[in-house]
């Protein structure tokens, strides 16, 4: 199976343009916000836009729950598609989805800027921020049996290939998720620091956390973090195994608790201690 990533910040129109990208590249299957869409029909998963809050929505989108990942893996095996388009707000998010579903990492990444204009992206972001409008790239009639939120409308768009006269029409569904009514959820630096410190404390082999810095990425709607830490570890520990376990634990705790993603994680072993 060939995997292709479609990357862009939240609210810039990825789902709206997904069908066009798939059509243009002869891709029959799309993974978008927890759903597997095959030949314009939902064949597995449940939409993150149907979750009650943003944290649940993020966990759904990256298949954090093993049961959800298993259902999706079985569905992918069943349809046997040659090409798969995976949507995400960053390459890191798409790689996490691929890892959860045992998919090969994308051979190619397409950015939203390649298929949309700055004006269209600005309009999409304004509709997301002011009206809570989200797009799901399937017809409304197909979505009604899967989505239990508030269906707003359907929208149709035309695609003209390379300026040719032939046009193809796509129908999308516009929804307003429950969590869009609650505004933006923000976690303070203190909460994030506490989560990481707790995770480090639970990991055997670490004697002391010498330094911890967390930086939120400035780009809007990316939910990305950079974490930089320095450790004192117990003498005799397998450093490669220890840092690998810690990396997975920190990423899991941050993602599960806050819905944010760790885009950059730097772990420095500053000292080794011999415990008496």
pLDDT tens for residues 177-192? Answer: 555 544 555 678 888 8
Domain boundary among 91, 125, 144: 144
Q: Which of 206, 30, 3, 173 has its CA nearest to residue 95?
A: 3
266 and 140 housed in the same domain = no
Model pLDDT, residue 104: 95
Residue 181 falls inside a structural domain? no
Answer yes or no: is 36 within a domain. Answer: yes
On the question of pLDDT at 2 being above 50, the answer is yes
Do 207 and 244 meet the contact criterion of CB atoms below 8 Å apart?
no
What's the whole-model pTM score?
0.64
Whose tokens are 């029959």? That residue is 28
In a domain, 35, yes or no: yes
> What b-and-e string marks burial along 140-155, b requiring 16 or more CB atoms within 10 Å of the CB?
bebbeeebebeeeeee
* pLDDT on residue 145: 59
- In terms of domains, do 126 and 251 share one? no
Look at residue 97 in the predicted model and tell me its pLDDT: 93
- Is residue 63's pLDDT more than 70? yes
One domain for residues 139 and 8: yes
Q: pLDDT tens for residues 207-247? A: 999 999 999 876 544 567 899 999 999 999 999 999 999 99
Q: Are 266 and 196 in contact (CB under 8 A)?
A: no
Residues 51 and 104 in one domain: yes
What pLDDT shows up at residue 157?
56
User: Which residues have a Cβ under 8 Å from the Cβ of 77 and sit 6 or more positions away?
Assistant: none
Please count the structural domains in the chain.
2
Looking at the structure, do residues 137 and 267 belong to the same domain, yes or no? no
Confirm whether 52 is domain-assigned: yes
Of 172, 7, 176, whose CA–CA distance to 106 is shortest?
7
pLDDT over 90 for what percent of the chain?
A: 39
Nearest 10 degrees: Cα torsion 8, 11, 17, 21:
20
Q: Return the closest-CA partner of residue 58 out of 188, 202, 251.
A: 251
Pair (86, 205) in one structural domain? no
Q: Are residues 10 and 131 in the same domain?
A: yes
Query: Same domain for 139 and 70?
Result: yes
What tens digit of pLDDT does each residue of 120-151 get?
888 887 776 665 666 677 665 556 555 555 55
Phi-psi region of 74 (alpha: psi -120 to 50; beta: other; left: phi over 0): alpha
Residue 243 sits in which domain range? 189-273
Q: What is the 3-state secondary structure (H, E, C) of 222-257?
A: CCEEEEEEEEEEECCCCHHHHHHHHHHHHHHHHHHH
Residue 124 lies in a domain: yes
């Amino acid at each position: 199976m060939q995997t292709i990533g479609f990357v862009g910040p939240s609210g810039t129109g990825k789902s709206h343009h997904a069908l066009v990208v798939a059509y243009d590249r002869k891709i029959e299957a799309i993974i978008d916000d927890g759903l597997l869409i095959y030949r314009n029909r939902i064949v597995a998963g449940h939409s993150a836009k149907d979750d009650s809050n943003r944290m649940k929505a993020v966990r759904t989108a990256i298949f954090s729950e093993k049961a959800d990942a298993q259902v999706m893996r079985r569905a992918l095996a069943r349809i046997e598609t040659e090409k798969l388009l995976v949507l995400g707000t960053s390459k890191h998010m798409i790689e996490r989805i691929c890892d959860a579903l045992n998919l090969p990492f994308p051979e190619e990444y397409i950015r939203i800027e390649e298929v949309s204009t700055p004006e269209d992206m600005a309009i999409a972001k304004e509709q997301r921020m002011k009206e809570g409008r989200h797009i799901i790239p399937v017809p409304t009639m197909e979505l009604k049996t899967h989505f239990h939120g508030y269906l707003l409308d359907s929208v149709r768009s035309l695609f003209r290939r390379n300026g040719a006269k032939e046009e193809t029409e796509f129908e999308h569904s516009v929804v307003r998720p429950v969590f869009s009514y609650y505004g933006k959820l923000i976690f303070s630096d203190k909460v994030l620091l506490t989560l990481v410190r707790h995770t480090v404390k639970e990991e055997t082999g670490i004697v002391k956390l010498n330094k911890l810095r967390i930086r939120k990425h400035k780009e809007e709607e990316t939910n990305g973090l950079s974490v930089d830490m320095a450790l004192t570890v117990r003498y005799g520990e397998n450093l490669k195994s220890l840092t690998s376990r810690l990396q997975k634990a920190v990423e899991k705790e941050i993602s599960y608790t806050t819905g944010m993603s760790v885009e950059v994680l730097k772990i420095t072993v500053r000292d080794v201690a011999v415990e008496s």
